[in-house]
A and B are shown apart, each in its own frame.
Chain A
């Protein structure tokens, strides 16, 4: 394997490695706009200029392959001047509208100006005017004046989605990014272009103007949108969660995630959530009563459960599981019920027909993050068809319902089936009018509020941690078990 020395630090890298990648491995920063590890090399921004020993001209680190014994410098005066000017060329026609730009705070033009620029601008000519606020599709908006034409987004649609919606049209400084006629940027991976846009040219319609990024905190998590389990970073503050971005994991999602996965945060925020216990009983006149402390509610449910088991037997209790909970939750809840002799566990899939489908990139038809974990933790799961046959005699069922109702296209239909049971305890993160007739609705934690493990479709177990609290009264299934177990055992 060839060895390269960069700024005096030597590293051995696999043959074919580029200088920019080798520098990255050595933690030596090299400024770049067009280079992206997940895309082909464009070599167009000319920011990553380095000095290579025995080469008279500066070279672009992105398209220079390491050869054995190569000696590279990123910090000579020649390099510094070249990078500073390359940056200046990027900025001379830039509108410098940072105060109203959504990218401010995470913009590579700003960052590099601070680390490589710090010059006094000499541009004293009228700037090139281009179009502002160009809608490229349902989720992405373009500002052509901010665009630095690095072509990352173009290459993304060419190489990753192979949908070819984007192109750079015209020449010279009249060049502009645009979509081909009649082909808006509406593929299910479109917002990745916003992530890889190093400047404020492409912004997300969903996120723009919602928050200044410096008012956001971040934590790592796993997308719960489907069984691929993309690694994500979640941005939030005291007002809730604002966006989900992909986090690199070459074993799972590479650099990308799908657009539907970007929406998962919405169902974690308060306006969609069930924030209190909802109880309905004859004693209370059949009306929904809200606000019983969750601990009391769980005690009462435990008591009712033990009564049912005592009077009608454990076979009169059933559990409906969606694949949206953690291994830890399945295991603890499963053990709790098995200890009570309950073994009628049914699997509720999101939609049977497309459940095993795959779009060839990341998105799977199994819109649950942990179907594999559910099957592993709870052996002997019965199917929904079994449930439909066996629901009527059931006295009491517990539904570990989906967090994201939108993913369950058969929700309404299946709720009708569940209603055939006498008493239903439904754990749900979100509120829905469909659930209003059930006896107990227990606020469940969303995936951002709990720690645990999801097993993806390839069998990879991925642990994640709670990032914030949104609904203080919400419980995980583990916590629910703790709340029920004392009273459930007391009677039996």
Chain B
């Protein structure tokens, strides 16, 4: 069953504007927060166990705790560069509840004592950008942003910044580079952004969904949040489900909800004539699960990790029996090859090599040894680069090849597709 802690009012049009949002209880958390001590806010979020919803699942309160306690100016950045293939929950959140995000950001900024924040929004999200920008304007007019917010003495300025269309800018240090006006490339760590980030100042980068969860936690307390999910995966999460299911869309369920239930209850099962074959649970970088694994999976960090995959951003890609895995891998390899920033050698060269190998397999121009080579290249790209894009490109390869090797071999032996007879991969160059 859906548990709509955040998305309860998402279908109400008035919730998108300040007046309606306030009428439905909005900004009550901010009022409460401004009467708390900043340290109490950080502690509350830490105690709630809220984990970063952008993909890595890093505990949010702990991240905030890395900031130096020296009064140095610091920045809060909202990562709205939602680019992980299969993920479209931040978009919905910004379109349906821009003030929820803004409220969460003001509270977070108060907690970490930041006077300036940016919402870095991907360039392709023009509509959400307009909506968020308008909401910020409303907030300024209502005294919720700017000087002396609601008479608390706390000042905070907020701006929206549009990206220029690079997947890698979803990586927090690349986002910072881009915001600084540089080429969107990840920065070498250490130093970490909490110590030296945007403009070399301490910086916290949080995902849209993470920040949007903050008002609820402040209103209902850490313990209230922990009633949902598991000990290590507390709370709810928004999953964006795509694929040949009856009702694709964004669903908020408690963490540790079973995938089977999500598919059958919320999504209304597979479309007629399609059977579930595989599942990418959290966006394209997460290793694929086969049917048996998918049916046993619960949507939480621990289970996914046990199954050798990741919960990622919650971009649930349902793969049916009419899909060719070679074809799908080709699409992914093309994507990662196109999106590698080119800074680190293994990723720059490896993503291109993997795309070529994968497409030559699909086109029936390869030998069996090329499957092994593809797997080998992917493994050598793991853990060798500044950011995780290299791993993100390698993980699908390793899982696709190990779990669906028969489809790859068929393409090589028969020079046709096992699933469709003829698939894109064959004509793909």
Residues of A within 8 A of B (CB): 41-47, 49, 57-58, 63, 65, 81-82, 85-86, 88-90, 92-93, 122-126, 128, 148-149, 168, 170-175
Contact = CB atoms under 8 A, between A and B. Distances in A.
A413 B207 CA distance: 73
B360 interface: yes
Given A171-B166, A173-B340, A173-B351, A86 B384 contact: yes
Nearest to B386: A43
B360 A44 contact: no
A145 B405 CA distance: 34
B188 A171 contact: no
A174 B342 contact: yes
B95 interface: no
Contacts of A43: 188, 344, 386
Interface in B57-97: none
19 contacts: A43-B344, A44-B344, A45-B344, A45-B345, A49-B384, A63-B188, A81-B380, A82-B384, A86-B345, A89-B346, A89-B348, A89-B350, A125-B360, A168-B183, A171-B338, A173-B340, A173-B342, A173-B351, A174-B342
B307 to A, nearest CB: 20
B370 interface: yes
Interface in B4-19: none
Given A85-B380, A122-B373, A125-B353, A172 B341 contact: yes
A47 B338 CA distance: 23
B339 interface: yes
Contact of B349 (A49, A63, A89, A170): A89
Interface in B302-355: 337-346, 348-353
Contacts of B356: 125-126
Nearest to B373: A122
B190 interface: yes
Contacts of B370: 124
Contact of A58 (B342, B345, B357, B383): B383
B385 interface: yes
A125 B339 CA distance: 20
> When A and B form their complex, which 10 residue pairs have the shortest distance between CB atoms, in order from nearest?
A175-B342, A125-B356, A172-B340, A173-B352, A85-B380, A43-B188, A89-B349, A172-B342, A89-B345, A89-B346
A42 B188 contact: yes
A170 B352 CA distance: 14
Contact of B345 (A41, A46, A174): A46
A86 B352 contact: no
Contacts of B337: 172-173
Contacts of B350: 89
The residue in A81, A123, A124, A128 that gathers the most chain B C-beta atoms within 10 A of its C-beta is A124
A128 B342 contact: no
Interface of B: 166, 183, 188, 190, 337-346, 348-353, 356-357, 360, 370, 373, 376, 380, 383-386
State the majority secondary structure of interface residues on A. loop
Contacts of A126: 356
Contacts of B345: 44-47, 86, 89-90, 148-149
Nearest to A62: B188
Nearest to B346: A89
A90 B345 CA distance: 6
Nearest to A88: B380
Contact of A90 (B183, B349, B352, B380): B349
Contacts of A149: 342-343, 345, 348
Given A171-B166, A172-B338, A172-B340, A46 B351 contact: no
Contacts of B341: 171-172
A90 B188 CA distance: 20
A86 B348 CA distance: 11
Contacts of B183: 168
A46 B384 contact: yes
Nearest to A81: B380
B353 A92 contact: yes
B102 to A, nearest CB: 32
B344 A171 contact: no
The residue in A41, A85, A128 that gathers the most chain B C-beta atoms within 10 A of its C-beta is A85
Contacts of A88: 380
Contacts of B384: 46, 49, 58, 82, 85-86
B346 A170 contact: no
A90 B353 CA distance: 12
A173 B360 contact: no
